[in-house]
Amino acid sequence: MDNKRMKIGLVHTTNPSIGEKTTYGDQEVDMVDVHFEKISENIKWSDLFPQWIDESLPWDSLDCPEIPMPSFEEYRDLDLVVANVPCGGGKHSKTFEDVLRLQVNLVVANLLVRSVRKKNGQVFVVFIGSCGPLLEIFRCDDLLWHEENYWIYKPDLKRLQQKVLMPVGSCQLAPPFLKPDVSTASHKPKEAYVSVIHSSEDYVCGAITLAQSIIKSNTTRDLILLVDDFISKKSLENLKSAGWKIKHIQRIHSPYAQKGTYNEWNYSKLRIWQLVEYDKLIFIDSDFIILRNTDGFFAYPQLSASGNSRHVFNSGFMLIEPSTCTFEMLMKQRYRVVSYNGGDQGFLNEMFMWWHRLPTKLNFLKDFIAILDGKRDIPDDAYALHYLGLKPWMCYKDYDCNWDVLENQRFGSDSAHGIWWRIYDEMPAELRSHCELSPQMEANVRMYREMARNGSYPDGHWKIKITDSRSHFSHYLTNTYFPYE
């Protein structure tokens, strides 16, 4: 390579000296306009990130809108790429500018990983524009300099190459290119599963059961649990016995959540980006259980998750890459960016607009809104089960008490309920002690059960005799008539 000649590719910008040779000192510079067809204005963000796709089809048979790219063979010897990046309106606005912004970012990323001059690792990119590049494609860790509307990056090309192998949106499943070759890698990736519990001990039982289910899947990864000061010493000891490595955090308030609601402090989940001793993490909410080994999915890049509804992902199971600057950016933006649901999921969907769709079987939502009757069985190939609605440990073992709450009947599944309790039954007795039914929990369950009885709910679960030994009334109820029963 001629060290005295630099070749600069210009993307989505105009410059009167394009095609001319310019000299800066003893450095000759060729500036080349990178030609590509602008994406059709008929393409909407929802076309790239649809609410639903048919996952029964092979991943590469699912159609995504075409995002035109340059003829890369013409631009394989670039030293620097300069791109003018348009701003978009954000996920809620979903303007054409958002689609165009994504196209420009993907054009630049593909140019960089295909440059023959990348062998020395000295490929740079300059972004021009008030919004800068997409965080999801160009990591803040690779930012060298930023001032006003100018951003200079030296990308990690191996990470960037993984990005350009992904589909252009969640209109396709992330491709199954698992288990990358690490035999010649100088750094063996360090990876872990992580969960968070905070503000109360309501989810200690869930976290214990989750850990036991992950271990049962024969994982080879670490298990990390972030906890705040609301978790007692006894609970911490048993969480450690269950398999978690404990890390203490200060919880983070959710700026747009209502006081006293379930998501008031769930921005605490952002702390997972501070675990920079790990290269990748799979975050799992503590109302999950793992049914099959999911270690292979660490191969995917940030942010990979299963769909939730509309064009958004569910943040209960997601692959992320820890980063101090990403955490700091999220903390700064949490007051500026409004979460659609007041919690972390709405916020993260705004911050990571470009995400990669994992199969729903990795985050099988216990939600049967489209199935009014039937057994509501869990698919045999499900990897992980996400317990929406009333949690199993907050109910009787005898049946799923979501059936006793009209607005929760969509979450009712005795099959899923039974799967959770089978894992519970296999746990050591000292771990099961954290899943006792508190008097307040049972008071709630009994109130719902009475309402179901009074309403003569047709599913008839309220007729089932309670035999759960965790009940404070179980012995009395199995031998004596009680109006709740």
| pLDDT on residue 26 | 65
| pLDDT on residue 481 | 33
Of 3-12, 151-160, 335-344, highest mean pLDDT: 151-160
Confidence of residue 480 (pLDDT cuts 50, 70, 90): very low
Residues 255 and 343 in one domain: yes
The answer on pLDDT for 483 being more than 80 is no
Task: Note down the domain range covering 454.
Answer: 384-479
Residues 299 and 411 in one domain: no
The CATH number of the domain where 293 resides is what?
A: 3.90.550.10
**pLDDT tens figures, 229-263:** 999 999 999 999 999 999 999 999 999 888 888 78
Residues 97 and 236 in one domain: no
Task: List Cα–Cα distances, 118 to 7, 78, 115, 234, in angstroms.
Answer: 12, 8, 6, 54
Q: Is 10 helix (H, G, I), strand (E, B) or coil?
A: strand
CA distance 62 to 201: 43
Residues 6+ apart with CB under 8 A from 130: 87, 149
| pLDDT on residue 183 | 47
**pLDDT tens figures, 365-390:** 999 987 766 678 999 999 999 999 99
**pLDDT tens figures, 439-476:** 999 999 999 999 999 999 999 999 999 999 999 864 44
CA distance 386 to 287: 6
Residues 399 and 251 in one domain: no
| pLDDT on residue 58 | 82
| pLDDT on residue 117 | 61
| pLDDT on residue 446 | 95
Pick from 90-99, 173-182, 242-251, 457-466: least confident: 173-182
Confidence of residue 57 (pLDDT cuts 50, 70, 90): confident
Pick from 89-93, 102-106, 278-282, 309-313: least confident: 89-93
CA distance 295 to 330: 27
Mean pLDDT, the chain, whole residue set: 89
Does residue 373 belong to any structural domain of this protein?
no
CA distance 35 to 1: 24
Please state the domain count of the chain.
3
Q: Which of 374, 466, 463, 379 is closest to 416 using CA atoms?
A: 379
Residues 30 and 82 in one domain: yes
Q: What is the mean pLDDT of residues 338-362?
A: 93
Q: From edge to edge, which strands make up the β-sheet containing 280-284? A: 245-248, 222-227, 191-197, 280-284, 313-320, 304-307, 356-357
Residue-wise DSSP of 99-127: HHHHHHHHHHHHHHHH-GGGGGS--EEEE
Confidence of residue 484 (pLDDT cuts 50, 70, 90): very low
Share of the chain above pLDDT 90, in %: 74
**pLDDT tens figures, 389-428:** 999 999 999 999 999 999 999 999 999 999 999 999 999 9
Q: Which of 134, 128, 124 is closest to 147 using CA atoms?
A: 128
Confidence of residue 96 (pLDDT cuts 50, 70, 90): confident
Residues 350 and 271 in one domain: yes
Does residue 185 belong to any structural domain of this protein?
no
**pLDDT tens figures, 23-40:** 555 678 889 999 999 999
The answer on pLDDT for 125 being more than 50 is yes
CA distance 49 to 306: 12
Q: Which of 153, 175, 151 is closest to 163 using CA atoms?
A: 175
Confidence of residue 3 (pLDDT cuts 50, 70, 90): low
Does residue 377 belong to any structural domain of this protein?
no
| pLDDT on residue 61 | 82
Query: Among 365, 392, 418, which residue terminates a domain?
Result: 365
Q: What is the mean pLDDT of residues 53-82?
A: 90
| pLDDT on residue 357 | 96
CB-count exposure of residue 360 (10 Å: 0-12, 13-18, 19+): buried
Residues 215 and 361 in one domain: yes
Residues 395 and 281 in one domain: no
Residues 306 and 278 in one domain: yes
Residues 159 and 303 in one domain: no
Angle ∠(139,127,305) on CA atoms, nearest 5: 35
| pLDDT on residue 15 | 60
Residues 16 and 143 in one domain: yes
Query: Can you say how many angstroms the Cα of residue 133 is from the centroid of all Cα atoms in its chain?
Result: 21
Residues 359 and 241 in one domain: yes
| pLDDT on residue 475 | 42
Residue 5 backbone phi and psi in degrees, to 5 = -125, 125
CA distance 93 to 175: 29
The answer on pLDDT for 175 being more than 80 is yes
Q: Which helix (H) or strand (E) holds 159?
A: helix 157-164
